[in-house]
C-alpha cells in the first residue's frame, strides 16, 4: 500500500505482561531441554505466564487502558477497537467486545482479527484505512495472546518458545508527513500447514480423541517456518522503504516480531543494520505472537530509544503463512 501525505499515526502505546515468570531452568524440570540449548537456538531466557483465573481480554484491557492514557484521549473518544489474537477468551463474543465493555468505550465498534504473529501489522493497515476513509477518528488496536494456554508442554521443540502478553496502540491524526508512511501485507496459504492448531474449529471439533491426541495445541514445522521468516522479514522491510522512496540508511529503528534471535540477526545482517538499531526483548518474553511488536515498540518508546521524527520499521511474519511491515515517522 502506497500512502499519501495525510498524517495518520500512533498517538499512544501501552503494554501488559503477567507477573509470573517461567525461566529456562524451570523448563529443564518439565521437559528434556536445558538453558544453554534454548538460549543458543532461540535467544529466550524467560517468558511470562498468565494467571489461571485470567484470560486474554484481561491483558488486552490492561494494555489498552495504558495506551489510551498515553494518547491523552478518553475511552469515549475511541471509535473502533481491533483486537488481534489467536487465543480469544471464547469463539464469540469477540475479545474486542469484552475489552470495549471493560474500558467503557461506549462509542466504539469492535471486532477481532486473526493473522497470527502478523496480526498487529494487519490491524495497523485496517486502522489506517478506516481513519483515512473518514469512517472513524480514533482506533484502539491491541495485540494480545495467551499462547501458553495452547502450548504443548511435552513438546520440547515448541514449549520453550511461547509466552503471554498484550500490547496496544491508539491511532489517529498526526501532522502531515508524520506517522505511517507505507504499509505492506502478504500471505502464502500454501504454507499454512507449517504452523497450526489442528483442532477446535469446524474442521475438527473437540472430541475425546482430539484431546487425547493433543490436537488442540500448537503444531509447528520449525525448519520450514524459519526459512520462510528469514526470507520474508528483510524483503518486507525493503518493500516499505521502496514505497516511501527511502534507503536503509534512513532507518533509525527496526522493531521486528520477537520469535527467534537467529531470525532477527539474519534479517538485520541482510538489511545491513547495526545491532543498536534493532529492538530486541524476546529474551524476557519469548514469542508473544501478535503482542510482540506492540510490546517491543512500547518499551522502546518509554525507555526513550525511539524519539520524534525517527524512522521506524515494524515487521513480522506468522501463521497462514502471513507477513507484514510498516514504515512510520514517529510523532508523539
Whether 257 sits among the annotated catalytic residues: the reply is yes
Q: Confidence class of residue 222 from pLDDT cuts 50, 70 and 90? A: confident
As a CATH number, domain 8-178 is 3.40.47.10
pLDDT digits (tens, 9 = 90+) for 150-186: 999 999 899 999 999 999 999 999 999 999 999 999 9
Q: Which of 138, 287, 311, 326 is catalytic?
A: 287
Radius of gyration of the chain (CA): 19
Once rounded to an integer, what is the mean pLDDT over residues 119-143?
A: 97
Whether 117 sits among the annotated catalytic residues: the reply is yes
Whether 97 sits among the annotated catalytic residues: the reply is no
Helical (H) or strand (E) element with 210: helix 208-212
- Grid look-up 515517522 returns 329
Q: Which of 24, 97, 105, 117 is catalytic?
A: 117
Q: Which of 24, 97, 184, 257 is catalytic?
A: 257
Nearest residue to 328 (alpha-carbon basis) of 137, 135, 184, 186: 184
Question: What pLDDT, on a 0 to 100 scale, did the predictor assign at position 5?
Answer: 57
CB-count exposure of residue 137 (10 Å: 0-12, 13-18, 19+): middle
Question: What pLDDT, on a 0 to 100 scale, did the predictor assign at position 298?
Answer: 98
Within 8 A by CB and 6+ apart from 240, the residues are 181, 182, 183, 184, 313, 325, 326, 327
As a CATH number, domain 180-329 is 3.40.47.10
Residue 13 above 80 pLDDT? yes
> How far apart are the C-alpha atoms of 123 and 266, rounded to whole Å?
26
> How far apart are the C-alpha atoms of 229 and 297, rounded to whole Å?
20
Residue 98 above 90 pLDDT? yes
Tell me where in the chain the CATH 3.40.47.10 domain(s) lie: 8-178, 180-329
Amino acid at each position: 500500500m502506497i500512502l499519501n501525505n495525510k498524517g495518520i499515526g500512533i498517538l499512544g502505546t501501552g503494554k501488559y505482561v503477567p507477573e509470573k515468570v517461567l525461566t529456562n531452568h524451570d523448563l529443564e524440570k518439565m521437559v528434556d531441554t536445558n538453558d544453554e540449548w534454548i538460549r543458543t537456538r532461540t535467544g529466550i531466557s524467560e517468558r511470562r505466564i498468565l494467571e489461571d483465573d485470567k484470560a486474554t481480554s484481561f491483558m488486552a484491557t490492561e494494555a489498552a487502558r495504558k495506551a489510551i492514557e498515553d494518547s491523552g484521549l478518553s475511552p469515549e473518544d475511541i471509535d473502533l477497537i481491533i483486537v488481534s489474537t489467536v487465543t480469544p477468551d471464547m469463539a464469540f463474543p469477540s475479545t474486542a467486545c469484552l475489552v470495549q465493555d471493560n474500558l467503557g468505550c461506549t462509542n466504539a465498534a469492535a471486532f477481532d482479527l486473526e493473522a497470527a504473529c502478523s496480526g498487529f501489522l494487519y490491524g495497523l493497515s485496517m486502522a489506517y484505512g478506516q481513519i483515512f476513509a473518514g469512517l472513524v477518528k480514533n482506533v484502539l488496536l491491541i495485540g494480545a495472546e495467551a499462547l501458553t494456554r495452547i502450548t504443548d508442554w511435552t513438546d520440547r521443540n515448541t514449549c520453550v518458545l511461547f509466552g503471554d502478553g498484550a500490547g496496544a496502540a491508539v491511532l489517529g491524526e498526526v501532522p502531515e508527513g508524520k506517522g505511517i508512511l507505507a504499509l505492506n501485507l502478504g500471505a502464502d496459504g500454501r504454507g499454512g500447514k507449517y504452523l497450526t492448531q489442528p483442532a477446535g474449529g469446524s474442521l475438527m471439533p473437540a472430541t475425546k480423541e482430539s484431546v487425547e491426541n493433543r490436537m488442540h495445541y500448537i503444531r509447528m514445522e520449525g525448519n520450514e517456518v524459519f526459512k520462510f521468516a528469514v526470507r520474508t522479514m528483510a524483503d518486507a522491510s525493503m518493500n516499505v522503504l521502496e514505497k516511501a522512496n527511502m534507503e536503509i540508511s534512513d532507518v533509525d529503528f527496526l522493531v521486528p516480531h520477537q520469535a527467534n534471535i537467529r531470525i532477527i540477526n539474519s534479517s538485520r545482517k541482510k538489511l545491513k543494520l547495526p545491532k543498536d538499531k534493532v529492538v530486541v526483548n524476546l529474551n524476557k518474553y519469548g514469542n508473544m505472537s501478535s503482542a510482540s511488536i506492540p510490546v517491543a515498540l512500547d518499551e522502546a518508546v518509554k525507555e526513550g530509544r525511539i524519539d520524534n521524527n525517527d524512522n521506524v520499521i515494524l515487521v513480522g511474519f506468522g501463521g497462514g503463512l502471513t507477513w507484514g511491515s510498516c514504515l512510520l515517522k514517529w510523532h508523539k
